[in-house]
Amino acid sequence: MTDDELLRYSRHILLDDIGIKGQARLLASHALVIGAGGLGSPVSLYLGTAGVGRLTLVDHDTVDVTNLQRQIAHTLDRVGVSKAESARQAIHAINPAADVRCVLQRADAAWLDEAVADADVVIDCTDNFQTRHAINAACVKHHKPLVAGAAIGFDGQISVYDTRDAGKPCYACVFPPESTFEEVRCATMGVFAPLVGIIGSMQAAEALKLLTGVGSSLAGRLQMLDARGMHWDDIQLPRQAHCPVCASLR
């Protein structure tokens, strides 16, 4: 670790649970962040500035003025720029040494199969079930931990899906792909601006814990937030024996 790294990451290194060894693990790790909007903004900023060695940011969309109410990685002068590139610029403004790769496309199944295999942790910051299920399938196939969050209106949720533990569920155990869910999006339903910051920051925390081996993750638990009263519900999630995605791992 260089002198600059020792200084930059000193507040992590001072933590007994992380220390030099934990920070070195972060510097050697690769995080795949899918979505660079409301959730992806705090995720990418915290991972990029905390010293994750490689970041891959995936988003096909561009910055719009309506994003600026909550997507803190973006600025007015970057309206029209790809969200992944805008987030990369925001990270580099704080940590110029961060190795950030931008992928300006939708994360389809074929691309995910290759990209997930190369990552140490995957963070799902998307807003549609089809993509979420494709991400989950790739994570199950390649035995990678998945940190998934969602936020709409005043309601948020977060969990970790880590099927490396035989008792823990995948995303499809909780939200079966054959089920019918009403797609709700910020563009039509609205979203409380700090909510994506709360959930996104928790996603970043879970990812950093997984990469450093600190504490215990949210695997097997779904946390749901009603931000109107700042009330959290915590639900235990078992693996489903007949899950179409992860049942074969038994």
Burial 16-48 (b: 16+ CB within 10 A, else e): eebeeebbbbbbebbbbbbbbbbbbbbbbbbbb
User: pLDDT at residue 241 above 70?
Assistant: yes
Report the pLDDT value the prediction gives residue 177, as an integer from 0 to 100: 87
What's the first-to-final CA gap in the chain, in angstroms? 41
What percent of the chain shows pLDDT beyond 70?
Answer: 96
Please state the rounded mean pLDDT for residues 59-67: 97
- Confidence class of residue 118 from pLDDT cuts 50, 70 and 90? very high
User: pLDDT at residue 187 above 70?
Assistant: no
Instruction: Name the residue among 38, 119, 98 with its Cα closest to residue 90.
Output: 98
SS3 159: strand
Please state the rounded mean pLDDT for residues 114-132: 96
pLDDT digits (tens, 9 = 90+) for 39-58: 999 999 999 999 999 999 99
CATH number assigned to the domain comprising residue 59: 3.40.50.720
Q: What's the rounded Cα separation, in Å, for the pair 96 and 110?
A: 31
1-15, 106-120, 176-190, 191-205: lowest mean pLDDT where? 176-190
User: pLDDT at residue 221 above 90?
Assistant: yes
Residue 232 pairs with which residues in a beta bridge? 225
Report the pLDDT value the prediction gives residue 220, as an integer from 0 to 100: 97
Number of domains observed in the structure of the chain: 1
Active-site hit among 125, 186, 243, 246 = 186
- pTM value? 0.95
User: pLDDT at residue 157 above 60?
Assistant: yes
Two tokens, residue 44: 């990418």
E strand segments, the chain: 30-34, 54-58, 99-103, 121-124, 146-152, 155-161, 221-226, 231-236
Is 186 one of the annotated active-site residues of the chain? yes
| Alpha helix stretches (DSSP H) within 95-128 | 109-117
User: pLDDT at residue 102 above 60?
Assistant: yes
Structural domain containing residue 129: 3-249
SS3 62: strand
User: pLDDT at residue 250 above 60?
Assistant: no
